[in-house]
Structures are given as C-alpha cells and as structure tokens.
Structure 1
Amino acid sequence: MTLEILKSKEELRDLVDAYAYLGDEKRIAEVMDLFTPDAVYKVYMGGTLLATTNGIQNLERDFMGHAADVKTYFTLNGQHTVKIIGDVATGVSFSQIKMIREPEGKKVLTDYSVRYVDQYVRLNGKWLIKERTGHFVIIESRFLDN
C-alpha cells in the first residue's frame, strides 16, 4: 500500500466523520460542502427505496426539513472500508444514529443502524461524496422518561 493510498484513506475517513460531526450539530450548509454539486443521496429502509435526492440544493432543503423535526442527533461511526482508484473511490461505512424528537411534547428516541454505500471523487485535491446510499437496517423507537 502506497503512502498516497494511506493518505487518501485517512482523508476519506475524515470526510465520513465530518458528515457525522456537522450533521449532529445541524450545520447543514457545511455538510453540503462535503458533497459534489451533482450529488445523489438515496435512502433505503427495510430494503425498500424511500427517497432519492439529486443535487446539493435539493439535498440541503431536505436535510434542513429533517433537522427542523429533530431536537438532538448523536452519531457513532464504526467500520469504514474503501477501494481507491486514482481520484475515485467507493466505500462502505457503518453508523449508529440516535435522534430525539418531541411530537406532542413527549421525547421519542429513535435508534438507526445504518450501512452507507458511498462513491467519492477527488476534486481540486479534496475528497467529496458523489453518491451516498443509506441502508437503514435496524430502526427502533421508544419514549424517554425525562
């Protein structure tokens, strides 16, 4: 493995982690900086495609709408495997995402176990997400006492 590949792997992991950090803080405009302008974002739940969003303008609108309903996000990233060929790469990462919403004044915690399948490109020396497909494998919701 070359030094260039190791450097790219670290940069790609930093990209995936930045997505989580910024998302948790609802810094949506900065999350959009992690994507190519023509990015595609897909969501599968239980193996069924629920949504496809094209372009960062639409993606930002969708993320802002979702973030407005969520009081708190907390994301833990796990494994991240990538295959790099020049300035393109594919990757698979795993995340545990917790979201707290307050419908009707009661706190509801939803846990999501997610496998992301990504396509990345390096533009002007910076890795970006070109396509992200979120497979929400396990979803559990419960009311919180506090």
Structure 2
Amino acid sequence: MTLEILKTKEELRNLIDDYAYLGDEKKIAEVMALFTKDATYTVYMNGTQIASTTGTDVLEKEFNGHAALVKTYFTLNGQHTVKIDGDKATGTSFSQIKMVREADGKDNITDYSVRYDDVYINTAGKWLISERTGYFLIIEARSLNN
C-alpha cells in the first residue's frame, strides 16, 4: 500500500467522520459542503426505499426540516472500507445513530444501525460525497428515562 493510498483513505475517513460531527451539531450548511452540488442521497428503511434526493439545495432543505424535529443527535462511526480508483472511490461505512425527539412532553430515543454505501469524487484536491445510500437496518424506539 502506497503512502498516497493511505493518505486518501485517511481523507475519506475524515469525510465521513465530519459528516457525523457536523450532523450531530446540526450544522447543515457545513454538511452540504461535504457533498458535490449534484449529489444523490437515498434512504432505505427495513428494505424499503423511503427517500431519494438529488442536489444539495433540496437536500439542505430536507436535512433542516428533519433536524428541526430532533432535539439531540449522537452518531458513532464504525468500520469504513474504501476502494480507490484515481479521482473516484467507493466506500462502505457503518454507524450507530441515536435521535432524541419529544412527543407528548416526553423524550423518546430512536436507535438506528446504518450501513452507508458511498461514491466519492475528488474535485480540485478535495474529496466529496457524490452518492450516499443509507440502509437503516435496525431501528429501535423507546421512551428515554432521564
């Protein structure tokens, strides 16, 4: 493995970690800067496609709408594997995401076990997400006891 490949793998790992950090902080405009302008984001829950969005303008509106309903996000990234082919790469990463929402005066937490399949593009020396497909494989919701 060359030094260049190791550097690229680190940059791609930092990209998905930045997505989690910024998302948890609800810095949606900064999250959009991690995507190509024409990026596609698709979501599957329990094997059914529930959303597919193209373009960061639309994606930003959707992310902001969702973030307005969530009191707290907490994301923990796990393994991340990539295949690099010049200025294009594909990757698979796994995340545990917790979302706290309020309903009827009570906090509820939903735990998501997610696999992301990504396509990354290097544009002007910076890696960006061109396509992201999220597979929400396990979903558990319950009251949060504070």
* Band of TM-score, shorter chain: over 0.9
Structure 2 counterpart of 1:20, one-letter code: A
Give the aligned partner of residue 128 of structure 2. Answer: 128
Residue 106 (str. 1) matches residue 106 (str. 2): yes
Structure 2: tracts of 5 or more residues without a match = none
State TM-score, norm by structure 1: 0.99
- Tell me, what secondary structure is at the counterpart of 2:104? helix
Please list every run of at least 4 consecutive aligned residues from structure 1 whose deviation after the TM superposition is greater than 6 angstroms.
Answer: none
Superposition map of 1:11-50 within 5 A: 11-50=11-50
Q: Look up the match of 2:52.
A: 52
Which amino acid counterpart does residue 56 of structure 2 have in structure 1?
Answer: I
Q: Which amino acid aligns with 1:68?
A: A
Aligned length: 146
AA partner of residue 95 (structure 1): S
CA distance in 1 between partners of 2:73 and 2:46 (Å)? 21
Alignment pair present for 1:142 and 2:121? no
Normalised by the size of structure 2, how large is the TM-score? 0.99
Give the distance between the partners of 2:104 and 2:86, measured in 1 at CA. Answer: 51
Q: What whole-Å deviation, never above 9, does each CA across 1:48-73 have from its counterpart, x for those lacking one?
A: 11100000000000000000000000
Distance 1:48 1:97 in 2: 19
2-structure distance, mates of 1:71, 1:59: 20
2:69 maps to what in 1?
69
What is the aligned partner in structure 2 of residue 83 from structure 1? 83
1:145, CA displacement in angstroms? Answer: 2.2
CA distance in 1, matches of 2:93, 2:129: 13
Distance 1:27 1:83 in 2: 28
